[in-house]
Amino acid sequence: MDNWKTSARAFWAAFAPPTFWLVAFFIIPLSLIWLYSFSSKTGIIDTTLDWNLNQYARALEPLYLGIFWKSIWMAAATTFISLVVAFPVAIAIVFAKPNVRMWLLLLIILPFWTNLLIRTYALIAVLRTNGFINNGLEWLVVHADWLLSFVGLGDNTLIGPFSPLHLLYNNTAVVFGLVYVHLPFMVLPLYAALDRLDRSYLEASLDLGAGHFRTFFSVVVPLALPGIASGVIITFIPAMGSYLTPDLLGGTDSQMIANVIGNQFKGANNWPFGAALSFLLMYATFFALAIRAFLMRKDGRGTK
């Protein structure tokens, strides 16, 4: 690696364009927002930069704090469910034969590469009152009733009539959608962490008398913990800042923080407040990243 001074011209030639773009079209816009967060609204579209903390104070009011809290909560639920589902899948992939492994990973990743909007939209058809799940359940109920009345019970109304489940436009739908979208994000780091684990630790644990579950919790999890933590964080952060999924699948009560921010800029036209909320979200994100860096420092223990 050269010191930049050894080829100063080459350095500047390569350094200048991306830096210009980053500064002009990223840093400056963000700084603008930062300034707005300290401003007040002084008219329908006018704002004054008066360096006050009112916007932040308002952002921390119970109403908005509640929404923050709800976003964190839903992101946490999403992460937890994803973890529980992804772990067996990751284990199955790690212990599969090498060529099968590649195909399984590909299959898990592929949905990730399709458009988020489309994936979320596809869920609407599944979850709505007239959607796949409800129609399927209805079919089951009707046929079960029919079977029962066939043997003389009920008269076709024992289990039915079927009233469809309200699976859409509520918090459940949002969490369901978030899990659906973020599952591949969780499988990959888990797979990577488990793959690097030396199998003789598992064999040693079994040899000493531990059962499979005991081995899992006493040996696998502690040694794979940094990788697990990584997966948890990189699922949690995008889930927390999610915009589309709560927008399409949620009801009026299921707004997450990104939706509220969006509203300030598109609807309510309260840019200073939206700016404060944005920055609070960013700080939360950075905090989560710091935790991840801290947890990753023990990475590599127990690897082959």
Partner 1 sequence: MRLFKRNPDPMGPLDYSRRFWLRATVAVTLFFLYAPIIGLIVFSFNNSRRNIVWRGFTTDYYVKLFNNESLMLAFGNSLTIAVFCTIFSTILGALTAYVLWRFRFRGKAIYEGAMALPIVIPEICMGVAMMVFFARIGWPTGLPWPFNLSAITIAHIAFSFPFAAIVIRARLESFNPELAECARDLGASEFQVFRDVVVPHMKPGLIAGALLAFTLSLDDFVITFFTSGPETVTFPVKIYSMVRFSVTPEVNAASTVLILVTLVVTAFALRMQNRNNMLSNAA
Partner 2 sequence: MADQTLSDTPIIQIKNVSKIFGGNVKAVDNVDLEVRRGEFFALLGPSGCGKTTLLRMLAGFEVPTHGSIIVDGQEMSNVPPNKRPINMVFQSYAVFPHMSVEQNVAYGLKMDRRPAKEIKERVAEALDLVKLGHLGKRMPDEMSGGQRQRVALARALVKRPKVLLLDEPLSALDAKLREAMQLELVRLQKTVGITFVIVTHDQSEALSMANRIAVMNTGTVQQVAPPTTLYEMPKNRFVADFIGKINMIEGEATDAGNGEVRVKTGSLGEITLKGTATGKVALAVRPEKIFVDEKQPTDPSLIYVKGKVGEVAYFGSYSNVFFDIGTGTPLQADISNVSSDIEEFTFKTGEEYWVYWRKADTLVLGD
Q: Which helix (H) or strand (E) holds 125?
A: helix 116-127
> Binding to partner 1 (CB under 8 A): which residues in 225-264?
237-238, 240-241, 243-244, 248, 258, 261-262, 264
Work out whether 217 is an interface residue with partner 1 (CB under 8 A).
no
Q: Which helix (H) or strand (E) holds 46?
A: none
- And the tokens for 132? 């796949």
- And the tokens for 25? 């079209």
Work out whether 95 is an interface residue with partner 2 (CB under 8 A).
no
What letters, b where the CB count within 10 A reaches 16 and e where it falls short, cover 112-137?
eeeebeebbeebeebbbeebebbeee
Distance of closest approach, residue 197 Cβ to partner 2, in angstroms: 11
Nearest to 93 by CA among 108, 110, 111: 108
One symbol per residue from 220 to 239: x for binding partner 2 (CB under 8 A), - otherwise; what is it? --xx----------------
> Binding to partner 1 (CB under 8 A): which residues in 109-128?
110-111, 113-119, 121-126, 128
d(CA 36, CA 270) in angstroms, rounded, equals 10
Distance of closest approach, residue 197 Cβ to partner 1, in angstroms: 12
Q: Under a CB-based contact definition with an 8 Å cutoff, are residues 128 and 167 in contact?
A: yes
Instruction: Tell me the sheet residues that pair with 47.
Output: 41
Count of positions (residues) in the chain: 304
Answer for which of 50, 57, 63, 88 binds partner 1 (CB under 8 A) is: 88
Q: Which stretch binds partner 1 (CB under 8 A): 48-56, 61-69, 82-90, 146-154?
A: 82-90
Q: Which stretch binds partner 1 (CB under 8 A): 62-70, 108-116, 166-174, 223-231?
A: 108-116
Q: Which is nearer to partner 1, 121 or 294 (CB)?
A: 121
What's the CA angle centered on 285, arms 283 and 291, to 5 degrees?
Answer: 105
d(CA 252, CA 167) in angstroms, rounded, equals 14
Work out whether 278 is an interface residue with partner 1 (CB under 8 A).
yes
Work out whether 304 is an interface residue with partner 1 (CB under 8 A).
no
d(CA 118, CA 109) in angstroms, rounded, equals 16
Q: Which is nearer to partner 2, 210 or 295 (CB)?
A: 210
**Cβ-based burial of 98 (10 A; exposed 0-12, middle 13-18, buried ≥19):** exposed
d(CA 59, CA 273) in angstroms, rounded, equals 7
One symbol per residue from 4 to 43: x for binding partner 2 (CB under 8 A), - otherwise; what is it? ----------------------------------------
Answer for which of 51, 62, 130, 253 binds partner 1 (CB under 8 A) is: 130
Q: Which is nearer to partner 2, 218 or 269 (CB)?
A: 218
Q: Which is nearer to partner 2, 96 or 133 (CB)?
A: 96
Binding footprint of partner 2 on the chain (CB under 8 A): 198, 200-201, 203-211, 214, 218-219, 222-223, 301-302
